[in-house]
Structures are given as C-alpha cells and as structure tokens.
Structure 1
C-alpha cells in the first residue's frame, strides 16, 4: 500500500506552543484507525518517520508526537499538554477515526503512553517498546509506570530486550507480575540479547533481529484489538 507522509505542526494543549510532528496516512479511502507514536529521546526523527510509514502501510493513520521540542528530559505537565494537543489535532484529520486509537510508546515515550492510557478514554490499545517500569536514575521526577499500572484498563503489549541497560529485566519482571496480579490484559515479550532502543533503526541500540519480530508481534496485537477493515 502506498502512503502519504507529511510534516505537520499542531498546537499544544497549553494553547501556545507549536509542536512539530509527522503524519502518515494510507493512500486509500478512510477513515482509518489511528496510532499515536510517542517517541523516545535518542536518535533523529528518521527512525520514527519510518515507523509511521510502516504503520500507514498496515492501514493506520500514524502521528509522530514531537514532544522533543520540550528538551531531552521534560517534566510531565508540558508533555501531557502536548498529548492533549495531539489528540485535538487528530480530531481534525479527516482520514482518522479517533474511536479506534492506539498508542505506541518508545523508550521515554512508553512512560507517556501509560500516562495517556489512564487519561484518555479514546485510547483502546497500548504498545510499549523498550520502555520503563521505573524512571532511570537522574531522570526528571514524575509518576512511575509501575505505580500507574492499576489505572490502565486497555490491552497493553510490552516488548523488551533482555540486555536493556536503561530498564533492567528485574524491573520489567516486577511490572509484569504487578500487571498479572491486577488482572490486566497485558502481554510481555522479551528478546534475548536486545538492548535499549532495539526497535528504532536510528537508535544506537538498534537490532534488526529483535526489531523485525517485535513489529510482527505489534501488528498481530493491533489486528486483534484494533483491526483494519477489509
């Protein structure tokens, strides 16, 4: 399927800050289900625009949320305002069906994905690639995904590397056990030897051996809970 990728700018929920982003749209009649991509800190935009194009080829409208305009380690409040702006912007995209919305969170974006799932009833599915159960040492203080888990009531898929140097396996196993004890619809898939950032081609930790099956897993998860018509 051919897709259309374009640079876009939306206004944050603070009503003032412009947020540069990218929008990928399938080149066929819509409306289409939507994936909001919450990127990580490391690496240029190219790795994330490629992911947006991949999702559009699957049949989803994909918006790369450009929160890096806030710096490399922003507080939660402005990021949350930007999420509100992204949701409003997607509501203006004719090809986007916001009643069928997923969030993909990468690295730090995985923290934001959990925050968003608690706050926005429109979100139906969450997928986290090499995210965090607890924020890494030295990061901006804020709510921990481990503590937020009780408020996440949508299916969630966590894809993680066993050699993640930023989010250790012990933490992710604690998160997995917590989600299970809470009765959440949550699946964890671990990739042997994969480091932090394995799914993003422009990230220093990229691994094709882990990235390829992780996206196949994510595609099946989306197809189960947020299928593309036809």
Structure 2
C-alpha cells in the first residue's frame, strides 16, 4: 500500500519496532474486561443524531488501522481532534467522547493504537494488559499512526490546519508526546497522563524530557489524589515547562486537589462529576483559544 503520509516522514523516528499483522481489525461493543463491572448508572450516552459516526479504516504504512470517527453531518472543514484512549483501547467511553466532540462541531478520531499488539478489551486484569499490550506498543509506532489519522482526516475534507489532540491516562502521556512531535498540532489537552518514566526501546522519552520540543501548548488536567502520578512529578513538569519551548511556556497544568486518577471516566468508580465537567469546559476553552 502506498504511503499516505509523506509530509510527516521526517518527523517519525527510525522504525526500530517490528511490524506485525493487525490483530484488531474491528471495534467491539461494550467495555474492557479489566474495568468490569461498569458503573452504567453514571455513564453518559451521546446519540448520533446529526452526526456521521462509526468505524473507519485508516491507511497506515503497513496496512489499515481501525478507528472510530464522529463528525457533524454537512459541516465542511470541521476542525480535527485526535482522541487517544486509556490503556483499555477504543471502547464505548472513548466512542462517546468522540460523539460529544462531534456534537460541538469537531471531527473526532479515536484510532485503535494497540491494533498490532492485541485487543486490550479481552484482558481481565490491568497488569496482564500492561505487560502484553501497552508495554509493547512503541511510541514511534503511535506517532506514525496518529500522523496517518491526520492525513486521512485531510482526505475526508476536515480542517487539519486546526488540529488538536486529547487523551486519557496512557493517552494523556501520548498527548504530550504528539504535541512535541507534529508541528501542525495547535492544542493538546492531557487528562492525567504520566509525566516521567524509565526510558526503554519502546518509550525512549517522556513528557518531562520533551518540553524543549513542544510545538503546541498543552493543558494538563491532573488529580491531587492520583496515586499513580505523584504530585512531585506534576510539580517537576510545571518547572520544566517554564524553561521549555515557547509552546511549553504557554502550556498550563490544572490540579484538582480532591480528584483521583481517571476522574473523567464516567463509567468507573473514579468518576468525579464536578471535576470532570469543569475539565471538559476547560478543554473546550483551550481548543477555542488555540484553534485559530
């Protein structure tokens, strides 16, 4: 298959990861086993009225990657928001997030970035999922796949000159990385993404390492009670941003003192309605400010 993303070739590091066949070729219904039981009574369910919504196939360098796309019907040149999932992949919560954004006029695309490594929805425990899926998904692969999503969106008539990215947990970290990777990104919103970590062949750099390379301002939304992201790492990132690129210095971190990890995930016990709604409004304001 021909390369559909030539404009990004110089931005993608040498491909040191092994190419695999695509294990995930369609998006299932429901939620990941690792987060069962789901708190259905709090889950938001956004309808598709007025939207073009559903599964799509995005051409990438080694085949086709499945993704979920939601966009307003009849709207030419809608701005694009890449939506990057938690470690659980593109399940109903991520799809609904795309529909919420589409209702507001955005073309939202959530790619299944673990498609070569396996189906995260099929794992019953988080440690097993992380060992077999997320821990073996190279950052370079993710950056290239997100580039392919941008190229695909442009081919569909969306406005990739107004490009944003948001992500949750694992996707929050990716939001920081992609905002340093692609100069076409205008805004990023990272929901409780890890900021530091050990470098290895799959994750050679982390957000605190890349503040000098940030090309778009990022709004970081973090919980003060997040046991997986210590406050000292958030403070370290804030100090690093002050000495980073112009986009880094324009970035902000907002801390919700009484919120745990995954406070926006309305299908999990960690959901905090007030903080989730406030963060959503902050995200939308960030997009309005920077997607000009």
The equivalent of 2:180 in structure 1 is: 118
Contact map agreement 1:46 1:202 (CA 8 A) in 2:
no
Please give the secondary structure, in 1, of the residue aligned with 2:253: strand
Q: Which of the residues 139, 142, 167 maps onto 1:105?
A: 167
TM-score, normalization by structure 2: 0.71
The equivalent of 1:26 in structure 2 is: 72
CA positional deviation for 1:203: 4.4
Are 1:197 and 2:245 an aligned pair? no
CA positional deviation for 1:141: 3.9
Structure 2: where are the runs of 5+ without partners?
1-48, 118-132
TM-score, normalization by structure 1: 0.88
Are 1:51 and 2:97 an aligned pair? yes
CA positional deviation for 1:119: 2.3
Structure 1: where are the runs of 5+ without partners?
none
Q: Which of the residues 211, 215, 224 maps onto 2:280?
A: 215
Cα distance in 1 for residues equivalent to 2:163 and 2:212: 21
Structure 1 segments of 4+ aligned residues over 3 angstroms from their partners: 135-141
CA positional deviation for 1:181: 3.1
The equivalent of 1:6 in structure 2 is: 54
Please give the secondary structure, in 2, of the residue aligned with 1:23: strand
Cα distance in 1 for residues equivalent to 2:52 and 2:170: 27
Question: In structure 2, do the counterparts of structure 1 residues 135 and 47 end up closer, same or farther at CA, with 3 Å as the change threshold?
Answer: farther
Structure number with higher strand proportion: 1
Question: In structure 2, do the counterparts of structure 1 residues 211 and 9 end up closer, same or farther at CA, with 3 Å as the change threshold?
Answer: same
Cα distance in 2 for residues equivalent to 1:30 and 1:114: 28
Deviates more, 1:199-208 or 1:170-179: 199-208
Contact map agreement 2:183 2:216 (CA 8 A) in 1:
no
The root-mean-square deviation of aligned C-alpha atoms, in Å, is 2.3
